[in-house]
Amino acid sequence: MSKIKITIFIIFTLTFVISFVVLIAMLGINDNGACEKRQANIINYIRPVKADCHSIENNERRFGALRDNGVRLHAGIDFVPRENGHGTPVYAVTSGTVTNYYYFFAGTDALVVLNDDGTVIRYGEISSDLRVGDRVAQGQQIAAIATMYSGAAMLHLEWYCGCEIGGLTQVDNMDNFTHVETRNHQRRADLLDPTAFFDLPLYASTDTAATKKLLIFKVGLITTLIIFIALLAVLSKYLIYPKFIKRYVDKRTAQAMSKKQKQQIERELEKLQREIKGNKSLIFKRNDCD
Ligand SMILES: [Zn+2]
């Protein structure tokens, strides 16, 4: 009986542990490294340019396109508005703090923001009124697209994991990159590919409501599962378990009874045989007398 109890206990413990592990996995609590986790935050990011932009697919606006006659590779992506590029508002993709603002390229400036999730974005080829130490909120206009000497106007956006320190432009760094293919980007080692920024929905939706809904759904699902498991355990203890035990006891009792009956029958049989033997000897004796 105790063996059955132990078995049932083990089954339920295992079920609980497995369910718990599955739930933890569903929550995504497993740590795959700080940088990967930071990249995952992109689902909460918004596009930095609301205006309709040219495609970055297979052209020189994309990440990794050739620059300087193939000497180096494009380290960011370019948001090039289809119309009236100059002065186009640039919005913070997520909240953070301005860590740098300086002259960048061909008559334009760059704004560096350390995002609250630890990543770093360089908004380049712009002009801005913000300065070091200023806080930026997600969706806040932080800059305007400026016009380069060539007459072109775009936002050049670079993204970094934030796992390294030092200047973002590193002309000597040709092959030391942690998160992108090792090629000559001439940037800091923790450079990320920001192409996904282009796939984000337009600025209008920050999707915080959707994120909240997803969280509520997850919590609800987990609570339901826990209640279900608890109910299952209770039901097993008070309904299934006694029934199972009863069936087992009945079976064993039946076996025991039949064994007892068999023994009795055997005993009676032996007794009968003995009697028959006795009678036989009497018969023979009587015959001998004749
Ligand atoms: Zn660019």
What does the pLDDT read at residue 280? 63
What does the pLDDT read at residue 34? 58
Which residues line ion ligand 1, judged by CB < 5 Å? 78, 156
Cα(194) to centroid of ligand 1, in Å? 11
Q: Is 136 helix (H, G, I), strand (E, B) or coil?
A: strand
Q: Is 41 helix (H, G, I), strand (E, B) or coil?
A: helix
For residues 136-147, one letter each, b for 16 or more C-beta atoms within 10 angstroms of the residue's C-beta and e for the rest, the string is: bebbeebbbbbb
Contacts of residue 241, defined as CB under 8 A and 6 or more positions apart, other chains included, come to 8
CA gap 46, 138 in Å, rounded: 8
What does the pLDDT read at residue 278? 74
According to DSSP H, which parts of the chain are helical?
A: 2-27, 34-40, 208-235, 241-289
Cα(118) to centroid of ligand 1, in Å? 22
On whether the pTM is more than 0.85, the answer is no
Cα(166) to centroid of ligand 1, in Å? 21
Show the beta-strand stretches assigned E in 106-256.
108-115, 120-127, 135-136, 141-145, 155-160, 191-192
Cα(145) to centroid of ligand 1, in Å? 12
Contacts of residue 49, defined as CB under 8 A and 6 or more positions apart, other chains included, come to 79, 81, 88, 89, 90, 91, 145, 155, 203
Cα(57) to centroid of ligand 1, in Å? 14
What does the pLDDT read at residue 198? 83
What does the pLDDT read at residue 89? 96
Blockwise average pLDDT, block size 10, the chain, 290 residues: 73 78 62 55 84 89 90 93 93 96 95 94 96 96 96 95 91 88 88 86 53 80 88 75 78 84 89 81 54
CA gap 223, 23 in Å, rounded: 10
CA gap 7, 120 in Å, rounded: 54
**Residue 182 parent element (H or E):** none
Q: How many residues does the chain have?
A: 290
CA gap 63, 78 in Å, rounded: 8
The closest of 32, 76, 65, 59 to 188, measured between CA atoms, is: 76
Q: What are phi and psi of 77, to 5 degrees?
A: -125, 155
Cα(50) to centroid of ligand 1, in Å? 17
